[in-house]
Amino acid sequence: MELTVDLAGENSATITIEMGLSNPPNSTVRVSAVSLYIGGGYLPGYVSAVEPQVTSSEGIKELRAVPSRSGMNLIMTLSSPLDPGEEENISISLSLDPSIFMMQVRNNSDVYAMFISVEKPNLTVRPPFSDVGATVLLPPGAVLVQPGPGLPLLSPESGEVLEDPWAGRTRLRWEDLEEYPASGWSFRTSFILGDISSLSVQPSNNTPVSPTLTSQWGLVVLLVATNSVTMVVSWIVASRRRAPQRVKPAEPETALEMLDEDERLILEKIISRGGVVPQRDLPALTGFSKSKVSRILKRLDKMGVISRKTVGKTKMVSVSPDVRESLGQPS
Domain count, the chain: 2
Q: Is 185 found in the same domain as 256? A: no
Confidence band of 127 (pLDDT split at 50, 70, 90): low
Beta bridge partners of 262: none
Residues 184 and 114 in one domain: yes
The letter for the amino acid at 105 is V
**Which residue, of 174, 192, 210, is where some domain finishes?**
192
- State the Cα–Cα distance between residues 151 and 248, nearest whole angstrom: 10
Q: How confident is the model at residue 321 (pLDDT cuts 50, 70, 90)?
A: confident
Instruction: Assess whether pLDDT exceeds 80 at residue 38.
Output: yes
Point out the domain boundary residue: 141, 166, 192: 192
Given pLDDT bands bounded at 50, 70 and 90, which one contains residue 315?
confident
**Whole-number percent of the chain with pLDDT over 70:** 69
**pLDDT tens digits for range 164-209:** 655 678 889 888 777 765 567 777 888 887 655 444 444 434 444 4
What mean pLDDT is predicted for residues 101-111? 74
Average pLDDT over residues 17-28: 86
292 within a domain of the structure (yes/no) = yes
Total-model pTM: 0.58
| Owning domain of residue 301 | 252-326
If asked whether residues 184 and 266 sit together in one domain, one would say no
Chain center to CA of 72? 15
At residue 296's C-alpha, the angle toward residues 295 and 298, to 5°, is 65
* Triad 181, 182, 183: Cα angle to 5°: 90
Q: Which of 105, 144, 42, 109 is nearest to 251 (CA)?
A: 105
The answer on 87 and 170 residing in a single domain is yes
What confidence category does residue 331 fall into, taking pLDDT thresholds of 50, 70 and 90?
A: low
CA distance 149 to 159: 19
Q: What is the pLDDT of residue 247?
A: 40
Pairing of strands 314-319, 276-278: antiparallel
- The answer to the question of residue 308 being in a domain is yes
- The answer as to whether 239 is a domain residue is no
User: How far, rounded to the nearest angstrom, does the alpha carbon of residue 237 sit from its chain's CA centroid?
Assistant: 29
Let me know the angle formed at the C-alpha of 183 by 177 and 186, rounded to the nearest 5 degrees. 40
Q: Kindly indicate the confidence band of residue 312, based on its pLDDT and cuts at 50, 70 and 90.
A: confident
In a domain, 161, yes or no: yes
Q: Check residue 263 and give its pLDDT.
A: 85
pLDDT in the model for residue 130: 58
Per residue in 216-269, pLDDT (tens digit) is: 222 233 333 322 222 232 222 222 233 333 444 456 666 677 777 888 888 888
What mean pLDDT do residues 41-53 have?
A: 65
Q: Supply the DSSP symbol for 247.
A: P
Same domain, 150 and 286: no
Is the confidence at residue 129, as pLDDT, over 80?
no
The DSSP element (H or E) to which 172 belongs, if any, is strand 169-174
> What's the CATH code of the domain at 279?
1.10.10.10
Indicate whether 178 and 288 sit together in one domain: no
What average pLDDT does this structure show over 85-103? 86
| C-alpha–C-alpha distance, residues 223 and 234, integer Å | 9
Amino acid at position 146, single letter: Q
Beta bridge partners of 308: 317
- Residue 79: what pLDDT? 92
List, for residues 131-176, the tens digit of each pLDDT value.
788 899 888 888 888 777 777 888 888 888 887 655 678 889 888 7
Q: Which residues contact 223 (CB under 8 A, 6 or more apart)?
A: 143, 144, 153, 161, 170, 230, 231, 232
Label residue 160 exposed, middle or buried (CB < 10 Å: 0-12, 13-18, 19+). exposed
Query: Residue 40: is its pLDDT beyond 60?
Result: yes
Give the mean pLDDT of the chain.
73
Q: Is residue 240 part of a domain?
A: no
- In this structure, the strands spanning 2-9 and 133-137 are parallel
